Chains A and B, each alone.
Chain A
Amino acid sequence: MATVRPRAVLVGAVALAGMAVLAVLTLGTGDFPIAPGDVVRTLAGQGTAAHAFIINELRLPRVVTAVLVGMALAASGATFQSLTRNPLGSPDVLGIVNGASTAGLAVVVLGGTSAQLSLAAVAGGVAAALLIQLVGGRRGLHGYRFILVGVGMAAILNGISGWLLTKGVQMENARAMLWLTGSFDGRGWEEALPLLGVLVVAVPFLALACGPGLRMLEMGDDIAAGLGVPVRRVRTGALLAAALVVACAAAAAGPVNFVALIAPNIARRLTRAPGPNLLPSMAVGALLTVGADWLAMHSGYPLPVGVVTGALGGAYLVWLLVSQRKAGRI
């Protein structure tokens, strides 16, 4: 990053602090409630043995997965929105998440292992991104053409998902539905660590290698090219990296809806900075997934987290459409 904006740092810090509070609350929630003070003490290594077991072994992996998934979704969403120059151009609207979920569902229905499921989801997401780029990206990734191609692709993939759902036998069907909604139930280190690895590689790539170019691209392809940005290379690199990140997030927790759409929007509104706003978006994304998970746990019966983000995100999307129209932007 060329310059560090104080406002962006503040937004990131506040979001991370909020996320930490919610994470402590979530760690204390469950069949065996633990007071927030005890949770903090246990995390610092000074709790009782029972608390240490419950928190470190049972609950921490889930929360860490939630944090990483939120960060990954937000990073990918921020990049896509910058690429499409459109607050609606997130990987869930564009059908890339659908690619991952449909491929994953196929594995669930065929009765594959969770490792196969993860691989299929990653491959499906990246394949969907390439396909949309191929069909709709001839004249650049901005403009409504590209987004509508994504919407159409999502509709086709949904049809295929629906068919796969009817194929499954009853035992696998509940697992399949849960996978399609996105959930952190029973997620542990074996989901979190690969995702962490991808993030450690992809985020610096997106931030340092693509970030400056993306900021220029937001002014238009020609201007960016005039300023010496290798337009095609930056675009393809960012698209592939972002698709990979979102597909890995989907592989870890299923398609958790709309976090990729909302988090960067909120971050951008708060920081008022141009460009993808990668790091503040990731902080907001983690806050959103941990918060949604906490809400899902307190909703009375065990809702998967994807339902909470789906409902909140859908409402936000409708509001975004209305406000965009009033501002005359679409």
Chain B
Amino acid sequence: MLAVVLVLGIGFGARFLAPGEVWSGLVDSGSPYYRIVHEMRLPRTLLGLLVGLALGLAGAIMQALTRNPLADPGLLGINAGASAAVATAAAFLGIATFSGYVWFALIGAAIVTALVYAVGGGRAATPARLALAGAALNATLYSYVSAVLLAHTESVEAMRFWTVGSLASADFPTIHRVLPFILAGLLLALATARPLNALALGDDAARALGARPGVIRVLVIVAVTLLCGAATAACGPIIFVGLLIPHLVRPFTGPDLRWMLPYTAVLSPVLLVGADVLGRVLGSPGELQVGVVTAVLGGPLFLYLVRVVK
């Protein structure tokens, strides 16, 4: 499925390429499609792959850590935290490149992750508390972002696409910058799978199984920060990917994170790149930003979960 979506991701655009043409564009430097594929479609699709993977994994381990089916980096305000930090950097410090953004995004994501966890009640967090704490932070941070953007109109033009969540500005340097952070987050997330399984039984049981709950919480928060911060710095805040995929995967894999995380890592990019393709098809000749597509697709699922989950 991932392969199919990746080929589609490269193929769709102002000029549709058939799968065979995609292949020739990829490997044959003499092909007429080589430049389209390598300079425009490929970076976009690869970035979609990385960002989808990051958001899906972050959602999955957050849901496991908080034992909360409604956890999502967008809904809990973590992506908004990264946005606010990036907006600050762009407006006040005049930073306009991705390599400058990424550290601010990481710091913003880290602060909000800690804050939402603390406000939402830490270990005693319930789904409702966390979601409301996230809503509160989201509202505050977005009004801050719009204040900054209003005061610095020249940055509005550049930022208005970014604040929706879009893959349109993808290029290879961005991918190179984002790759180490997402890889580190990926490894960390996979490493926490076993202890998180133990933690699902409760702190005491986890300790009896040899896990250290405090250390695991810190590791998971670091992993979430790395994944969300890097993803947001690269293409803006994207909501609901982290919510959707773990719920789609869980019925097939069961609650064991050692199975769930790899499947999430494969399926989340399918969703994100798929949403990007859908956005380009629906919005043609222009495009619908991927963040818009995921919000409109993921929102109804959230509403369904709210109705079903106690």
Contacts and interface: CB of A to CB of B under 8 A. Distances in A.
A155 B302 contact: yes
B70 interface: yes
B299 interface: yes
Given A156-B295, A301-B151, A173 B143 contact: no
Interface string A251-279: 00000011000000000000000000000
Interface in A277-330: 301, 303-304, 306-307, 310-311, 313-315, 317-318, 321-322, 325, 330
Given A156-B299, A307-B147, A149 B306 contact: yes
11 contacts: A135-B307, A149-B307, A155-B74, A156-B295, A156-B300, A158-B142, A160-B292, A307-B147, A311-B144, A321-B119, A321-B120
A162 B296 CA distance: 12
A311 B306 contact: no
Contacts of B124: 325
B225 to A, nearest CB: 20
A88 B132 contact: yes
Contacts of B176: none
A304 B143 CA distance: 10
B137 interface: yes
Interface stretch (A140-148, A186-194, A211-219): A140-148
B147 A318 contact: no
Contacts of B74: 155
Given A307-B143, A330-B128, A174 B153 contact: yes
A159 B292 contact: yes
Majority SS at the chain A contact face:
helix
Interface residues of B, number: 51
B240 interface: yes
A113 interface: no
Interface string B278-307: 000000000011011011100110110011
A136 interface: yes
A178 interface: yes
Interface string B140-154: 111110110111010
B146 A180 contact: yes
B35 to A, nearest CB: 27
B147 A136 contact: no
A151 interface: yes
B19 interface: no
Contact of A303 (B151, B291, B294): B151
B156 interface: yes
A291 B97 CA distance: 39
A147 B303 CA distance: 11
Nearest to B139: A314
A166 B295 contact: no
Contacts of B142: 158, 310
A181 interface: yes
Contacts of B292: 159-160, 162-163
Contacts of B131: 148, 151
Contact of B156 (A174, A321, A325): A174
A318 B139 contact: no
B136 A314 contact: yes
A93 B295 CA distance: 17
Contact of A317 (B139, B161, B164): B139
Contacts of A317: 136, 139-140
A151 B135 contact: yes
Contact of B160 (A154, A166, A178, A318): A166
B91 interface: no
Most chain A Cβ neighbours within 10 Å, of B157, B165, B292, B300: B292
Contacts of B139: 92-93, 257-258, 310, 313-314, 317
Nearest to B303: A152
Query: 10 shortest A-B CB distances, which residue pairs?
Result: A314-B140, A159-B295, A310-B143, A156-B299, A162-B164, A307-B147, A317-B136, A163-B292, A144-B128, A152-B302
A152 B306 contact: yes
A321 B132 CA distance: 8
Contacts of A149: 303, 306-307
Nearest to B238: A159
